[in-house]
Each structure stands twice: as structure tokens, then as C-alpha cells.
Structure 1
Amino acid sequence: MANVQITSRQAYRRTDDYTPGTPKLKLVTEDIKLPLAPTSVLIKVHAVSLNYRDANISNGGNPWPVIPHGIICNDAAGEVIAVGQGVQTLAVGDRVGPIIDTENITGRESTRSWLAADEDGVLADYLVFDERKVCKLPTHLDWVEASIIPCAGVTAWTALKNTSIGQSVLIQGTGGVSMFALKLARAAGLKVILSSSSDDKLKDMKERFSSPPLLTVNYAKNPAWHEEVLKYTNGAGVDLVIEVGGTQSLVKSMKCTRRGGIISQVGYLSKQNVNELEEFLPLLIDRRVILRGINAGSKHDMDDLCAALSATLMRFDDIIDLVYSFDKADEAVEFIWQGKQVGKLVIRL
């Protein structure tokens, strides 16, 4: 291990006070576990990207158990500043990000451990990870852009699997995963239909992605929005839906998916009500829909995504909505919680 003088770090831990209007995070100073284990690396964090999940956990809405007062966030980009004596795949100076399910290396593992839930997350100025749980990031991206890859990027990448040029995809919402998926889908030659409850957000997206023209649907103004999607596909339905709502939108998503098409369920943003699933089984069988749960992806998926981004030199500055400073972390979480963002919100250290 190199002679590094860093022995402590600053991190944001949850207060676990879910009362509206109270701080959801507390800045703490804590020791870094040193010396490094033989296969571990010390990372200086440069940017952390926020997802809706972070605000949901901080406000007590996560449907899965979380450790008490954990560090939030699972999207980070940083620089290796020290390595354990047995590290073989990384070196000081490498640009890296940790995978968000630290058990999911190949995609065949039977266990999982999610950052910011089963273990501490990444909203800190220094992190320690085993080299197996870290991926090299594309060198052409700045820290802010690179920070959105591990969670939003990998989720979008795996959600779009098994599509090909000329096929159609319905992408729901304008959050981080949806915007990353939009970028990837357009680059892959897919016909994109984007839905939102806000005309202003849709107008913004049509201006940002004007060629070819972006097809849009306002699901709040049109309760039968699935019929509008069907019109865009001449009644056949889209080949793929990136589903972020859950029970409130899933049945309608199935109605506008072609027979034999795929729905990638990546989120649960709407209020969940099982009574809205009355037509679920008949539609699943009748339309032969493949419904697959997307829980981000594996280390191999992240490596593949980073290779694709490096090959195409794709940039993401056009889907970065806001950049906050480290001292404004609580404010950033509240902004996400209120659903104000269009694209990604990033904290720069």
C-alpha cells in the first residue's frame, strides 16, 4: 500500500427521522479502516449521483430492509489513491466506480448486497472497496457524467437488452434511468416514445432530442395513454417498455406492448395498489408478454457498458439537470423527493 496520509473521512448518514420537513442526513467524520486489506483499494470520491431510491430510503419508503443510519447513495465516481499489496486489476490513478450490488459479479450469484441498503452507500469523500467490486470508468467522461454509470447507467443498459435497430421502446418518465435509457436507445437506432405527467418536461425533452423527432405521451392528461402509444406503433404495440411506475401503470404498459414483447420493470414510483392488477394474468398470457425484473446489473454488465461508452465516446452532459455541492446534500435529496428533476442530479465533491 502506498504511503497515504488519509485516516478519516466525511460521510452523510441518514437521520432515520421521517417527519416531513426535518433533515434526512447528518454529516459525520469517521475513521477509515486501515491498513487496507490485500485486495482492497482506497478511492477518493469526486462525484456522487442521486437516484429516487436515495430519497425514498431517506424518507422511510423503501420496500426492503435497510441498515439503521446508513450512508446513502450507490452511484459514484472517483480515483484510486492507494491499493492493497495483493491488488492485481487496479492501480493508483485509475478512474473507478463501485458496482451497486456488491455480490452481483457475473449475474449468476444467488445472494445480493445493495449499497445504501444492506451495507453503507457512497456519499462520502473516501471509500474502500475490494477490487472485485469496482469497475474502471470511461476516461473521456468528466467526474459528474461518470458518476451516473453504476446505478442509472447499468440499470438502463440491462433494461434495454434484447432489442435491435428499428424496434420501438416506451420509456416512462424523465428521471435518471429513463434519461440514460433514452440516450442508449437513440444511439442503438430504436424508435423512442417518452411518457411524462408534465408537458413542460416533454417539451424540454423534444427540444433536447429533436432529430429524429421524439414521440411523447402525457399520461396525466390522457388516462388512456396506452392507446396513444398503440397509435404510434400502428396498433401493434412497442417491442419494449421500460416500466418505472409499478401497479398503477403496469397493466396499461402490457396493453401497449406487442405480443411477445418485453417489459423491463425497473421501478415502483407510483402509489402501489394490487387492486389495479385485476387484468394482469389474462393480459400476460394473451399477449405473451415477457415481464422481467431489473435490479441494476452485474459487474460484467457494467464493464460491458463502460466498454460501449468508451468505443462510442457518448457524453451525458445533456441529461445532467443539476449539480450540488457536498454541503447541500440534504437539499439535493429533498429536490429528488419532490420529483423536480429532469435527468440526473449530481453532488460534486
Structure 2
Amino acid sequence: MSSTAITQRRVFRRTDDFTPGTPKLKLLQEALPQLGPTQVLIKVHAVALNYRDANIANGGNPWPVIPNGILCNDAAGEVIAVGEKVAALAVGNRVGPITDTENISGRETERSWLAANEDGVMADHLVFDEAVLCNLPDYLDWEEASVIPCAGVTAWSALKGMSIGQTVLIQGTGGVSVFALKLASAAGLRTILTSSSDAKLQQMREMYPSILTVNYSKIPDWDIEVMKLTGGVGVDIVVENGGASSLVKSLKCTRRGGVVSQVGYLSGQDPSHLRELIPTIIDRRINLRGINAGSKHDMEDLCAALTAARTPLKDLIDRTFAFEEAEEAVEYIWQGKQIGKIVLCL
């Protein structure tokens, strides 16, 4: 085991006070977990936030979470100590954890989500087993690398199976959406982007001039508009972020035999919106697949693809905050101000 004098860490834990206007996080000084034989100690350099983090902090997560847990599952850091039986990693490696620590190959039957079933990564030091860590691309800075484990792998998994020239519908301008937009553009896909903000759509068109856009707040029947944009055929795949309120419309504007990748639930869980779900799936022969980030193998494949093309990710970051400003960063996301990713810098 490599020697280290570090025994304490700074960490933000949830207050679990869901009253509007009250602090959602508390900064603490804690003893570091003891380093096991196959574990490594990581000095964190950047933590990226997702809407999921703000939702959990405000009591909106549809799955159980541990009390007063640590938020976030996107992080990038440097290995500074290793256990005596660590074989695949060494001091100095740049790493990030997978979001579901049970999902190594994609065939596992259990799951354990960071920031939900177990503590997340909003801390200045972390201890993880080497089996749940991936090497991050060397060409990226820490902030860019931090957006890969959750948002990046989710976007990668949601687009899996696409071919050059096919059409993808991407909903919104959050972290997963903008990462999916970058991957789709790099892969030669025709992209339709939806948002309720003309300003956000305009900003995306300036970055990706070839994309088509639809403002769903101005065009309530946006699924019909998408069908028009595809000549009545429908898109090949949807990166579905809305959940119950948008799912049926997403199905209706997907070509027969196409794919809807359900990656989010921004609209809540009102079952009244799903009355047409079953007949629409059957009628359009849609493959509806749930995306829970992805496996360790998926993350390794994404990092390999990014490295091969040396794809820059700086444009995916909307704003950075200091680690001490975590409360402000969570609120920024909760209010939906971001276009892309929010990152805490340490």
C-alpha cells in the first residue's frame, strides 16, 4: 500500500430538510474510510452535478435513498494511494467511478446507485474498490473528465445501436442531452432537439448549425411537428428525458420498429399521462428501453471513443462553482438555469 498522511476529508451530506428555502447540504469533516486491500484513495479534482442530485436533495427521487447521504455520481480524480492487492490501478492514474457499482458487464442482476443506495462523490477524497473505477482520458482537463461517468455514459448507452444517417430526437438541454447531442453530431446522425426555451435552442443551433429544433411550450403537439420534420416516418431513436408526460408523444413520433431510450423523469410520475402507452407501443412496434447510466464496459468504450477522436467536452460545461459553493450549484440546477453540465472544482 502506498503511504499517505491523509486521514480526514471534507464532504457535503444532505440535510434531508425538504422545506423550500432551507439548506439542502451540510459541509462536514469526516474520517476517511479505511483503505481495503483492493481499494484506492482518490484525490477529487472535479465533481459534476446532474438534475438527479437536485431532485434527491429536494425529496423528489422516486427510489429510496440512504438518510443524509452524499450527493453526486460524476467525479474525476487522481489515485494517491492503493491497497496491497490492487492490480489494475497505480498512484497517479486519473479515474472516475461508475454510477451503478454493481453494473460491471451489464449482465449483473443487482444494482447499487451512487448517491442513492450508497454515498456519492461530493467530497474532496474518496475510497473505492478498483473494480468500480475506470481510467479517464488523459487529454481532458479535470472538469471535462468529470462529466463522463453519469451524463456521458447515459448518453452513450441511450444512442447505442444508431447508424450514420439515422435521426435522433433529443429532449432538453441538460447534461445528458447536450452530451447526446455531441455524440450524435460526431456519429453523423440527423438530430432534432426540443426545449421550452427559444434562447436555449438558439444557443444550440449556433453550436450545431445542422440540427432541427422544436419549442414544445409553443407547439404543444410537438410529436406531430417531429413527424412533419421526418416526412411522416418518425425518428429512429428518442433520448427521452421527460417521463410520464412526454413518453406517449415520444412513442408517437418514433418510426415503427424504432427505439425510445428512457433516461429521465423530469415531468414527474402522473399515470394519467400513460393511458395510451400500451396501444401505442404495440401499434408502432417500439422498443422502449430503460437506461440506468451504463456498465463499466460501456464507460470504458466511451472513454476509448472519446480518446480516439480527442473529442473536446469543454463546451458541455455551462458553469463551474467552487466546491464550497455546492449549495448554490444544486439550487442553480433545481431552477433549471443550466445548458449542459454544472461542475464543482476542487
How would you bin the TM-score normalised by the shorter chain?
Answer: over 0.9
User: For residues 291-328 of structure 1, what are the alpha-carbon distances to aligned partners after superposition, in whole Å with 9 as ceiling and x for unaligned?
Assistant: 00001100011011111111110011111100000110
Partner of 1:50: 49
Q: CA offset at residue 3 of structure 1?
A: 1.6
Counting only pairs closer than 5 Å after superposition, residues 108-257 of structure 1 correspond to structure 2 as: 108-210=107-209, 213-257=210-254
The one-letter code of the counterpart of 1:322 is R
4+ residue segments displaced more than 3 Å: none
Partner of 2:59: 60
* Distance in 2 between residues matched to 1:86 and 1:280, nearest whole Å: 50
Q: CA offset at residue 42 of structure 1?
A: 0.3
Q: CA offset at residue 272 of structure 1?
A: 2.4
Partner of 2:326: 329
* Distance in 2 between residues matched to 1:37 and 1:250, nearest whole Å: 44
Q: CA offset at residue 231 of structure 1?
A: 1.3
Gaps of 5+ in 1: none
Q: TM-score, normalised by structure 1?
A: 0.98
Partner of 1:16: 16
Partner of 1:343: 340
* Distance in 2 between residues matched to 1:3 and 1:277, nearest whole Å: 56
Q: TM-score, normalised by structure 2?
A: 0.99
Partner of 1:104: 103
Counting only pairs closer than 5 Å after superposition, residues 236-315 of structure 1 correspond to structure 2 as: 236-315=233-312
Partner of 1:30: 30
Q: CA offset at residue 33 of structure 1?
A: 2.0
Q: How many residues align?
A: 346
Counting only pairs closer than 5 Å after superposition, residues 67-82 of structure 1 correspond to structure 2 as: 67-82=66-81
Gaps of 5+ in 2: none
* Distance in 2 between residues matched to 1:271 and 1:41, nearest whole Å: 38
Q: Any idea what SS the aligned residue of 1:181 has?
A: helix
User: For residues 202-231 of structure 1, what are the alpha-carbon distances to aligned partners after superposition, in whole Å with 9 as ceiling and x for unaligned?
Assistant: 011101112xx2100000111111111111
Partner of 2:90: 91
User: For residues 30-89 of structure 1, what are the alpha-carbon distances to aligned partners after superposition, in whole Å with 9 as ceiling and x for unaligned?
Assistant: 00123x211100000000000000000000000000000000000000000000111110
Q: CA offset at residue 271 of structure 1?
A: 3.1
* Distance in 1 between residues matched to 2:268 and 2:340, nearest whole Å: 21
Q: CA offset at residue 237 of structure 1?
A: 0.1
* Distance in 2 between residues matched to 1:178 and 1:170, nearest whole Å: 10
Q: Any idea what SS the aligned residue of 2:26 has?
A: strand
Could you tell me the percent identity over the aligned residues? 68
User: For residues 130-152 of structure 1, what are the alpha-carbon distances to aligned partners after superposition, in whole Å with 9 as ceiling and x for unaligned?
Assistant: 00010000000000000000000
The one-letter code of the counterpart of 1:109 is E
The one-letter code of the counterpart of 1:276 is H
* Distance in 2 between residues matched to 1:244 and 1:328, nearest whole Å: 27
Q: CA offset at residue 282 of structure 1?
A: 1.1
User: For residues 137-183 of structure 1, what are the alpha-carbon distances to aligned partners after superposition, in whole Å with 9 as ceiling and x for unaligned?
Assistant: 00000000000000000000000001100000000000000000000
Q: CA offset at residue 278 of structure 1?
A: 1.4
